Amino acid sequence: MSTVTAIAPNPVRPVPTKALPREDRYARCIAASKRVRWDIDADVIRGRGFDLREKFLPDALSLAHQLEFLGAAEQRFMGQVQGRTYANLFGLIERYINAKVLELSRDYVFGDQVALEALVRFSDEELKHQELFRRIEALVAVDMPAGYEVVVDPNDVAKVVLSKSTWAVLGLTCHVELFTQQHYKQSIQPCEDASELYRDVFFYHWREESQHAILDELEWRREHARIGPAERDRGVDDLIALVGAVDGILQAQSGADADYFLAHAGRDFSPSEQQRVRAQFLKAYRWQHIVTGVQDPRFTGILAELTTPAQQARIQAALGPLVQAVLTDAP
Ligand SMILES: [Fe+2]
Ligand SMILES: [Fe+2]
């Protein structure tokens, strides 16, 4: 808000002068965070549960409609398994995001108190989101068959991610928080035949994520300004490695989810159909968590500003084949 007074420069990491309006942007994030703040029970869940006759994840994200040998109920079940994982993976990713936000907030402890408040609220919201996704998992587990499991541990993932440079971690986080918004606006919100509770979860999540993506960008640019060319170059390698680590998670979870789907879909599938189910789970997870993000115009715009043509070529060489494979017959 414009009523915020001038902010003392950060003694640890000076604010780059060319980005001075950033102070207002932190203040605006605080104002928006206060305005949209919600409660898990009073606003999101409201005593409701899930109905397995309803869709969870829309076809535009689950890609379940592309498997023509599945009946409508089987496609819906595939979207429900994916929808469960979609919520759980957000909860998992938010563990590392919160750890990084808390780490960054220390830079402001004796300096920019507005930026500090924005990051503290960001952290508080991610803690609440993790609780929301745990609650959703518990509600879904009431009705879906036993045997579902998330095969990666949030703390293990956080340790791997946080071992990489801050430049890369912020790049990955910006990507995640931008695709979160894109998925809600372009796919979940318009999917009127999906579960109301499921849509509400991502409606409320989206409302708080909008501020996070702005803060990710501000912090990514701050880190970019703080470090030199060699560290930025290492950041590019780390970002490529992090996307590879995300893909490893998606491979493991898609395999577990395909097994669960095949075990509980209610009929036998031929070996070639089983193979296609497995491939489709992986393709959908790559579509959701990698491809839609790296194609997001805001993300590509920021990345183009923060990288050299040679670095962009390295990213393209590393990620291009995966993106192309998913896009070959995209929705
Ligand atoms: Fe979140
Ligand atoms: Fe977030």
For residues 285 and 319, what is the distance between their CA atoms, to the nearest angstrom? 15
- CB-CB contact of 66 with 104 (8 Å): no
Whole-number pLDDT of residue 329: 62
Query: Any bridge partners for residue 194, and if so which?
Result: 55
3-state SS assignment for residue 49: coil
State the angle between helix axes of 309-327 and 271-286 in degrees (0 to 180), rounded to the nearest 10.
Answer: 150
Instruction: Give the Å distance between the CA of 253 and the centre of ligand 1.
Output: 20
Instruction: Per residue of the chain (331 residues), give pLDDT as tens.
Output: 232 222 223 333 333 334 547 779 999 999 999 999 999 999 999 999 999 999 999 999 999 999 999 999 999 999 999 999 999 999 999 999 999 999 999 999 999 999 999 999 999 999 999 999 999 999 999 999 999 999 999 999 999 999 999 999 999 999 999 999 999 999 999 999 999 999 999 999 999 999 999 999 999 999 999 999 999 999 999 999 999 999 999 999 999 999 999 999 999 999 999 999 999 999 999 999 999 999 999 999 999 999 999 999 999 999 999 999 898 865 5
Residue 20: left if φ>0, alpha if ψ -120 to 50, beta else—which one?
Answer: alpha
For residues 213 and 42, what is the distance between their CA atoms, to the nearest angstrom? 25
Instruction: Give the Å distance between the CA of 209 and the centre of ligand 1.
Output: 6
Instruction: Give the Å distance between the CA of 267 and the centre of ligand 2.
Output: 39
Instruction: Give the Å distance between the CA of 260 and the centre of ligand 2.
Output: 29
Name the residues around ion ligand 2, CB cutoff 5 A: 177, 209, 212
Residue written as tokens 């899930």? Answer: 50
3-state SS assignment for residue 194: strand
User: What DSSP element (H or E) covers 214?
Assistant: helix 196-226
- CB-CB contact of 81 with 265 (8 Å): no
- CB-CB contact of 188 with 199 (8 Å): yes
Instruction: Give the Å distance between the CA of 180 and the centre of ligand 2.
Output: 8
- CB-CB contact of 175 with 212 (8 Å): no
What does R_g of the chain's alpha carbons equal in angstroms?
Answer: 20
Sign (positive or negative) of CA dihedral 194, 292, 325, 250: negative
Instruction: Give the Å distance between the CA of 219 and the centre of ligand 2.
Output: 13
Q: 46-76, pLDDT tens digit by residue?
A: 999 999 999 999 999 999 999 999 999 999 9
Residue 56: left if φ>0, alpha if ψ -120 to 50, beta else—which one?
Answer: alpha
Instruction: Give the Å distance between the CA of 164 and the centre of ligand 2.
Output: 19
Instruction: Give the Å distance between the CA of 135 and the centre of ligand 1.
Output: 14
Closest C-alpha among 244, 221, 232 to residue 318:
244
DSSP strands (E only) in the chain: none
Instruction: Give the Å distance between the CA of 120 and the centre of ligand 2.
Output: 12
Domains within the chain, CATH numbers bracketed:
54-327 (1.10.620.20)
* pTM for the model: 0.91
CA dihedral 179, 183, 185, 187 (to 10 degrees): 160
Q: 151-171, pLDDT tens digit by residue?
A: 999 999 999 999 999 999 999
- CB-CB contact of 156 with 30 (8 Å): no
Instruction: Give the Å distance between the CA of 91 and the centre of ligand 2.
Output: 10
For residues 140 and 132, what is the distance between their CA atoms, to the nearest angstrom? 12
Closest C-alpha among 238, 101, 105 to residue 161:
238
Instruction: Give the Å distance between the CA of 282 and the centre of ligand 2.
Output: 24
Instruction: Give the Å distance between the CA of 322 and the centre of ligand 1.
Output: 26
Instruction: Give the Å distance between the CA of 266 and the centre of ligand 1.
Output: 34
- CB-CB contact of 214 with 29 (8 Å): yes
- DSSP alpha helices (H): ranges in 106-228? 113-143, 154-162, 166-183, 196-226
Instruction: Give the Å distance between the CA of 268 and the centre of ligand 1.
Output: 38
Instruction: Give the Å distance between the CA of 307 and the centre of ligand 1.
Output: 27
